[in-house]
Amino acid sequence: MSDFVFDTSTFDPSSLSTYEALPTGEYSFEIEGTENYTKENGDKLIKITLVCIDEKYSGRRVWDYCKYFSASGGSLAGGPQRVMSALLAAGIPGSPSPDEACAALDGETVNAKVKLRKAKPGDSYGDSNNVVERSEERRVGTECSCRWWPD
């Protein structure tokens, strides 16, 4: 016999976090977690998981993948700038290593502007969000750069 009982009479389905995309706009987020990892192709990234704390969309998540090393010598697509922008928005000075940056960002509260990216027909993941930059910083052919600012 199990020590755990599932009691659906007290369960509130609305308490679950949702992965539904946010409408384009500016939101407050808590940095739920960061991960410094190396892809199979040798590229190095910091993955930042942001959880919206604005009342209407509380709990919705947005991920920002910040490439800071390209094994092939290709574009970093603004990855280092996005990490530095997040560090400044969180009030973290200095020149931390990628692992130190991850540790410093965990749990911080920041604001970011996100853009809704509509799913293409047949896309199994549905609509998603990108953290976006000020339009004058956009470079043709690059991924979105981050626009963060202090809470």
Query: CB count, 10 Å around CB of 105?
Result: 21
Q: Is pLDDT above 90 for 41? A: yes
- Give the pLDDT score at 82: 78
Cα distances (Å, whole numbers) of residue 80 to 23, 51, 73, 97: 26, 21, 14, 11
Average pLDDT in the chain: 77
Q: What is the mean pLDDT of residues 69-98?
A: 82
Which tens digit of pLDDT belongs to each residue from 133-145? 422 232 323 333 3
Q: Structure tokens of 58?
A: 């509380």
pTM: predicted TM-score of the whole model, two decimal places:
0.72
Phi, psi of 9 (to 5 degrees): -70, -20
Cα distances (Å, whole numbers) of residue 55 to 46, 51, 77, 125: 27, 12, 32, 25
